[in-house]
Amino acid sequence: MTARLRLAIAGVGNNISALFQGAEYYRKLTLQGVAEADFVGITRPRIGGLGVSDLDFVAAFEIHPNKVGKPFDNAVLADPNNYPILDVTLPKVDFIVDEGFTKEDSEPGSARFKAIVSRLREAKAEVLLYSLPTGLQWALDAYARASLEAGVAFVNCTPDIGARSPELLAAYEKAAVPLIGDDLASHLGTSVVHRTLLGLLSERGITLASSYQLNFGGNEDFRNLRDHGANKRDSKINALAQDGVDTSNVEIIPSAGYVPHLKDSKVAMLNLEGLGWAGTPVSLDLKLKVQDSSNAAGVIIDLVRIAAAARRARLGGFSAAATRRLKSPAGGHPKFTPEIIENSFNQLDATPVR
């Protein structure tokens, strides 16, 4: 039997609540006799022999006072986390959440750095999942270096630069430690829906007259986005443009609003106005509602299993298997063909169990 995945966490937000509760959701399904192949919302029941419930949370780093110093199973549900409470019995996971890096003590030589490296080693973590708010490049750098020093695979969920850094990637490769990133592609995000529809219009010869996309929600991301909307807008426009879609008449509002009662739900409104034969109009309005952190956790579950399986197989650096689960994979999007990606999965699956 494959050993369970030992997972450490940097940033105990909603995504981690979704991951922790969701793993139990699938364990419950198994107990009810549901076969893995019938699990809802799962593309790949096994990666490197690991199932979606084969997670042991073993360490966590945070700076929010509601979470630091608390047992993990407590911290993961603490305010401002507002992912729904699923109808599952959560296991007792009562290691204490450690204080994470602050900007002041994030240097490799610092006491905090040493403490975090020791904690990762002592916990026998296989993977460190980096899931802090976007925009803290110094924090990503510090965790990535600590992870490398501890020999722990690193997964970067954020758009900050991790696996895209040639230096960092080379260092991980040299040490034969996996480095997976950057920027989680949502399970079913607004960008992919919008891009798909823009592509469809273009393919069918409908001329795009105008389009807009609005996103709003009630979790901390949307509160934060109020201030950082401009960058996010550009990054989303780029996400649309990646398949050659002309975005000159497309407007994106990444955070149209923070609507607290939506909690961890996210709503996107899309409109596409096109011109068909003889300039007659084609119009398309769409409302997409998702559970924001489930959208992340459904992809994180693959990335951490890829990272653990790669580490077990002593495959350092980036793993091609992760490519389609990321918005900005190391090496960019056109690098790996579907065949290479599939081979990468097969290689991970074939690794003899430790």
State the residues that interact with a second copy by CB under 8 A: 18, 21-22, 25-26, 40-44, 84, 86, 187-188, 192-193, 196-197, 200-201, 204-207, 209-210, 212, 214, 216, 249, 251, 253, 256-257, 259-262, 267, 269, 271, 274-291, 294-295, 297-298, 301
Q: Of 293 and 319, which has the nearer Cβ to a second copy? A: 293
Cα(174)–Cα(130) distance, rounded to whole angstroms? Answer: 21
Helix axes 14-31, 292-312, angle to 10 degrees: 80
- Tokens representing residue 143 in the block: 């965790």
Q: What is the nearest approach in angstroms of a second copy to the Cβ of residue 183?
A: 16
Q: Of 194 and 312, which has the nearer Cβ to a second copy? A: 194
Q: What is the nearest approach in angstroms of a second copy to the Cβ of residue 354?
A: 27
Task: For residue 57, give the H/E element and its range.
Answer: strand 55-62
Q: Of 65 and 279, which has the nearer Cβ to a second copy? A: 279
186: which DSSP letter?
Answer: P
Q: Of 255 and 328, which has the nearer Cβ to a second copy? A: 255
Is residue 143 a contact partner of residue 154, using CB atoms and an 8 Å limit? yes
| Residue of 320, 311, 299, 319 whose CA lies nearest to 351 | 311
C-beta atoms surrounding 245 within 10 Å: 20
Q: What is the nearest approach in angstroms of a second copy to the Cβ of residue 257?
A: 4
Pairing mode, strands 5-10 and 55-62:
parallel
Helices (H), 159-282: 166-174, 190-203, 220-241
CB neighbour list of residue 303: distance below 8 Å, 6 or more residues apart: 129, 155, 157, 180, 184, 322, 325, 326
Q: What is the nearest approach in angstroms of a second copy to the Cβ of residue 6?
A: 21
Q: Of 165 and 255, which has the nearer Cβ to a second copy? A: 255
Q: What is the nearest approach in angstroms of a second copy to the Cβ of residue 321?
A: 14
Q: What is the nearest approach in angstroms of a second copy to the Cβ of residue 118?
A: 33
Q: What is the nearest approach in angstroms of a second copy to the Cβ of residue 208?
A: 9
Cα(296)–Cα(151) distance, rounded to whole angstroms? Answer: 25
Q: Of 298 and 316, which has the nearer Cβ to a second copy? A: 298
DSSP-derived 3-state class of residue 111: helix
Q: Of 89 and 167, which has the nearer Cβ to a second copy? A: 89
Q: What is the nearest approach in angstroms of a second copy to the Cβ of residue 25?
A: 4
Q: Of 170 and 200, which has the nearer Cβ to a second copy? A: 200
Cα(337)–Cα(295) distance, rounded to whole angstroms? Answer: 25
Nearest-5° Cα angle at 61, 59 to 63: 155
| Residue of 202, 278, 260, 291 whose CA lies nearest to 80 | 260
Buried b / exposed e along 105-124 (16+ C-beta atoms within 10 A) = bbeeeeebbeebbebbeebe
